[in-house]
Amino acid sequence: MNKRVTFKGMEHSSVLEEYANGQLVKVEEFLENERTPVYLDLVFEPSKVHAHHKIELRVKSPHYDKISNYEGTDFYQTLDRVVDVMYHELLEEKRRRIDEKKMRGRHDEFKGQR
């Protein structure tokens, strides 16, 4: 798994990166059995004008290509939201793929009975 944490337009913060790594654990565990290559790209970007900072998380793998981003006043709360939204989107995508696979199998069974 290739994971990258980027600080765009700001100084590197080891405390923030450590917190981000802790939050990304549940996404990493979800993607553990995914075929390689799997890329996680997390970007922190502060606003120079307003107190709204932007965080973006991208997940790219053979089955998933998702982006979750959000703007907020606190990096930690914004990061929590971005990771939670990504995790739920990945779960929904997996459920849809499983349901499609089930429906496809049943359809083929009914076709054979005709």
pLDDT, tens digit, 9 for 90 and up, residues 25-63: 999 999 998 888 999 999 999 887 777 889 999 999 998
Rounded CA-CA distance 64/56 in Å is 16
pLDDT at 111 over 70: no
78 is written with which tokens? 């914004």
pLDDT at 6 over 80: yes
pLDDT of residue 48: 79
Closest by CA position to 16, among listed 80, 60, 65, 68: 80
Cβ 4 vs Cβ 42: under 8 Å? yes
Rounded CA-CA distance 108/70 in Å is 42
Report H helices in the chain: 14-23, 25-30, 75-113
- CATH number, domain 2-113: 3.30.160.100
pLDDT, tens digit, 9 for 90 and up, residues 66-85: 999 999 998 899 999 999 99
